[in-house]
Amino acid sequence: MANILHTTTELSNGIVMPKIGFGTWQTKPGSETYASISKALKVGYRFIDTAWSYRNEENVGDAIRDSGIKRKDLFIQTKLPGEIKTYDEVLRYFEHSLKNLSVEYVDAYLIHAPWPWSNPGENCDQQNREVWRAMEQIYRSGRAKSIGISNFSVHDIHNLLQDEQLTITPMINQIQYYVGYTQSEIADYSRKHGMRIEAYSPLATGRLLDNETITSLAEKYKVTTAQIALRYCVQNEVIPLPKARSMGHIINNSELDFEIQDSDMRLLDRMTDPSEKRGWHAGDHTFYDL
């Protein structure tokens, strides 16, 4: 079985992306982000995920530049803040992200949320259609090789798809996804319309690491609990975006060359997460204007 870092999949427009990415959510801007990205690139990760709201795009760009890796060999993804809901502002924030990252294009650009961080659940249907119109313009310019969404519900996705003036279907939907919380309705609807699912928080921000069922399976397969959780995503054709700071954890998260048996996958499918920490939390994102 090939190393997961060397395997790829295709988006609906033919763009090739790695089957695992390296996340930077909740990674502190500055030296912490720079160091973790530098280590990940050294290990072999080639898909880096960031966002304007993480405030670490510049550190990601610096680490990529200093790595010496050719731009064409990387898949760089960033996101538009959820607060931005006008055509002109979308274009302005996109330019700012390119400048932060010191790149001429990104491989994927996502709308980070269908609502402002300060008011999750707010109905922004009309504004999101306007935002997507700008996203289509960015895509046609060639400066974003693919475009997509994040934290979008079935309703939010349908809102874009039913507008006849919008002609490009999102290629990616990044959602919170992990063993016990797979948001199957959103994932199935996204797949039906040709989107690849990306999983942020694939380890449930660490809560899965002490789970008894996952620990038992880790012992059975002679791997770690993190590897079971990440392999579960991969076998469900979901692209996990684990984050880590230590070289040991970064390497461990990339060693997924084993197969979880069907019976054990069904066992994991039946798990549910009773935690109140499921879903998006306002405290996880803070918006700062340009």
Closest CA to 242 of 29, 16, 45, 15: 45
d(CA 62, CA 92): 21
DSSP-derived secondary structure letter, 22: B
- The H-assigned helical ranges of 57-124 are 57-67, 87-101
Q: Which residues does 164 contact at the CB level (< 8 Å), separation at least 6? A: none
Per the document, the length of the chain is 290
Maximum pairwise Cα distance, the chain: 54
Which amino acid is it at 82? Answer: G
Per annotation, catalytic residue among 45, 54, 109, 189: 54
Q: Is-contact 33 24, C-beta < 8 A?
A: yes
Q: Which two tokens stand for residue 214?
A: 């996952």
Q: Which of 92, 13, 14 is nearest to 52 (CA)?
A: 92
Tokens in use for 136?
């289509």
Residue 14 CB burial class (10 angstroms; 0-12, 13-18, ≥19): exposed
In 3D space, the residue among 91, 44, 100, 89 whose CA is nearest the CA of residue 67 turns out to be 44
Question: What are the strands of the beta sheet with 147-150, ordered from one edge?
Answer: 47-49, 75-80, 108-111, 147-150, 172-176, 196-200, 238-240
Known catalytic membership, residue 54: yes
Amino acid identity of residue 95, one-letter, is E
Catalytic residue set: 54
